[in-house]
């Protein structure tokens, strides 16, 4: 049995599990026409695994949370 990581094409839910990137960022990535095709009127997106991991390396920059410092 193949794991999702070994397959060339994955869906958004699997991409979230594999990369740890939030679903909102992955859907933004999909809306930039970096998807292979849409199924069921755009509700299921097929993503090329290789391009997703390139996105994770080069383009995905999570926002760093600033810690609120309490005045002493």
What secondary structure does DSSP assign to 8-21, as a single string?
Answer: SEEEHHHHHHHH--
Position 4 confidence tier, pLDDT thresholds 50, 70, 90? very low
| Residue 18 maps to a domain | yes
| Residue 20 maps to a domain | yes
Is the distance from CB of 29 to CB of 55 less than 8 angstroms? yes
Which of 9-13, 18-22, 43-47, 49-53 is the least confident region? 43-47
| Residue 68 maps to a domain | no
The total of structural domains in the chain comes to: 1
Tell me, what's the pLDDT at 21?
A: 83
| Residue 22 maps to a domain | yes
Mean pLDDT score, 51-61: 76
| Residue 72 maps to a domain | no
| Residue 48 maps to a domain | yes
Of the candidates 17, 14, 18, 42, which has an alpha carbon nearest to the alpha carbon of residue 30?
42
> Residue 34 belongs to what domain range?
9-58
| Residue 63 maps to a domain | no
Position 7 confidence tier, pLDDT thresholds 50, 70, 90? low
By residue count, the chain amounts to: 72
Integer Cα distance of 18 and 53 in angstroms: 9
């Amino acid at each position: 049995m193949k794991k999702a990581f070994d397959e060339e094409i994955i869906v958004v839910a699997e991409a979230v599990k594999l990369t740890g990137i939030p679903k909102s960022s992955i859907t933004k990535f999909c809306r930039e026409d970096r998807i292979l095709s849409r199924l069921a009127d755009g509700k299921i997106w097929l993503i090329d695994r290789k391009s997703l991991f390139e996105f994770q390396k080069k383009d995905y920059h999570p926002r760093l949370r600033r810690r609120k410092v309490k005045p002493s």
